[in-house]
């Protein structure tokens, strides 16, 4: 007999990391905007902007997929 995970717990396991990715993205935006001149001077600005450019679409796509699964009743 296979045990199924309760849907509310499954949502928590999927949504919580997505929320953390948004918190990380907001923190990165604050960090880069407050240290813009220093990062630009040291040549590290492209790396931080690249990290944000990867994280933002990933978080948005994950949110989109979660909403689709909830609407379909799979979660």
**59, 22 contact by CB (below 8 A):** yes
Q: Look at residue 9 and tell me whether its pLDDT is greater than 80.
A: yes
pLDDT of residue 1: 64
Residue range 46-63, pLDDT digits in tens: 999 999 999 999 999 999
Other beta carbons less than 10 A from residue 59's beta carbon: 19
Two tokens at 60? Answer: 């948005």
Whole-angstrom Cα distance, residue 29 to residue 21?
12
Residue range 13-54, pLDDT digits in tens: 888 999 999 999 999 999 999 999 999 999 999 999 999 999
Of 16, 10, 5, 4, nearest to 70 (Cα)?
Answer: 10
Mean pLDDT in residue range 62-68: 91
């Amino acid at each position: 007999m296979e045990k199924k995970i309760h849907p509310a717990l499954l949502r928590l396991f999927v949504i919580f990391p997505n929320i953390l990715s948004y918190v990380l993205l907001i923190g990165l935006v604050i960090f880069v905007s407050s240290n813009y001149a220093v990062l630009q001077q040291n040549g590290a600005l492209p790396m931080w902007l690249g990290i944000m450019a990867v994280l933002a679409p990933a978080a948005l796509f994950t949110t989109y997929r979660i909403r689709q699964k909830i609407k379909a009743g799979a979660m």
